[in-house]
Structure 1
Amino acid sequence: MQKYLRLLNLRLDVVVNDICGLTGLLIIHAICNGEKDPLKLAELRHGNCRKTEEEISKALHTNGREDYLFALNQELEMYEVLQSKIVQCDVEIEKILNSTIGKDDNKRQHHIEPKKHKKINKNTPKNIDLNLMAYQYFEGVDLLAIEGVSYSTVLSIMSEVGLEGIKKFPTAKHFASWLRLTPNNKISGGKILSNRIPKGSNRLKIALRNAANAIGNLKDSTPLSDFFKRINFRKGRVSAISATARKLAIIIWNMVVKNQAYVNPEGYLFLDEKRKLGLVKRIQKQITKFGLTNEEINFATN
């Protein structure tokens, strides 16, 4: 649709973020119905659109090519057919989730409050409370508490491995290795020759990498976003996405298998903070081992 809009000299993609959004689809429908007046098309602007009607109208002066208009109409009809198929998939997803949760009393007993801060985009299945269903499906484990993990990420986990599938992996490292997120270290004579991530992918790996990329775009400082930024500074964004995706896989395995809530562990601290923490723990261990007192250690006091 965007291609034929450009050929019609209609730069809708310049004035709206998504031509398949509320404003974009209303304008495309009007164009296919024969409307050519830029001012009337701009009046279809949704209230949340950042651009004004005047700015939108300047981008909607068509050249009137009938062949391109016909092709645009064809693409719009195809888009609507695909959207109807997606709705049917959403209905089937809801049926399967209701069937899985309804058969298990342990799953059905859990309840969680809605998350208002989680963004619901147009690709999120409609009329499904995924926040509640995911919490019940994973038997009281709230994966959506992890920053960067969206509804689509949780759906990918359900569809690709599921609750029982994750539990089949003996350790979190096995799970991350199966996802091909663990470096394949090639060692000769005690020297690491290569530590690239193996080739190959699956839908869950892609979903975790998308979640890692979202973490990298966070404006607020969190342990995971700080971890992402540190790797990004040293090795680049691609390596940071892979490392953070592996970190997410480890966290998800521990939460699901051990039935733990999401906690920001010490492992996300910067390297100097980790060294300092380790040094303090070793000193405390030695003090306890030898039973030393403050006088014997000769601590300086203010």
Structure 2
Amino acid sequence: MEGISHSAVLTIINEIGPDGFFKFPSAYNFTSWARLAPNNKISGGKVLSHRTPKGSNRVKTALRQAANAIGNLKDTELSNFFRKIAFKKGRQVAISATARKLAVIIWNMATKKEPYKPKNEYLFLDQKRKMGLVKRMKKQINKFDIKPEDLDFSTS
């Protein structure tokens, strides 16, 4: 998963334990424990406050650092979410929102045993270069109308 480092995974497992995710009945309970869920204070049907509660733990810090790293990535599902929130409400709110989204994804991965599948796969720089090279070669082959017989590759 993009943005999550080895140290973040170790921090989360160290704080929660390998079976600790099953102690939380829902993703909301996990994000609330990690101090990432909004604390909706409602009185008489009117929302008085919806800020995330104060307090910190190592899981929150690790997820916020991962969310900050995601904010620096380009063209991934999570970085697009980060940029959308950052444009509307600012970078700090976007870090909190992305950290909460990461916590929900991690909880679902751990409890439901479902892998993280983004809509479009993240490509590293060397993969992007290779894809660009193949694309340029195909374009040149089409431009010069080269057939496989014209290349005369021999297997011996």
TM-score > 0.5 by shorter chain = yes
Q: Does 1:207 align with 2:62?
A: yes
Secondary structure of the equivalent of 2:86?
A: helix
Larger Rg: 1
Q: CA RMSD in A?
A: 1.0
**Residue type matched to 1:147 in 2?**
E
Say which of 118, 133, 140 aligns to 1:264.
Answer: 118
Equivalents in 1 of 2:80, 2:45: separation in Å? 32
Aligned to 2:34: 179
Match of 1:96 in 2: none
Moved >6 Å (runs of 4+): none
Deviations 1:74-120 (A, max 9, x none): xxxxxxxxxxxxxxxxxxxxxxxxxxxxxxxxxxxxxxxxxxxxxxx
Greater length-normalized contact order (CA 8 Å, ≥ 6 residues apart): 2
Which residue does the alignment assign to 1:148?
Answer: 3
Unaligned runs of 5+ in 1: 1-145, 266-302
What is the rounded CA distance, in whole Å, between the counterparts of 1:260 and 1:192 in structure 2? 35
Once the two structures are superposed, residues 166-198 of structure 1 have per-residue CA deviations (whole angstroms, 9 ceiling, x without a partner) of: 111111111001001011111122121111100
Q: Give 5+ residue unaligned stretches, structure 2.
A: 120-156
Cα distance in 1 for residues equivalent to 2:116 and 2:9: 15
The one of 154, 158, 164 equivalent to 2:13 is 158
Query: Hey, what does 2:97 align to over in structure 1?
Result: 243
Partner of 1:225: 79
What's the TM-score once normalised by structure 2's chain length?
A: 0.74
Name the % identity.
64
SS at match of 1:163: coil
Matches within 5 A, 1:188-203: 188-203=43-58
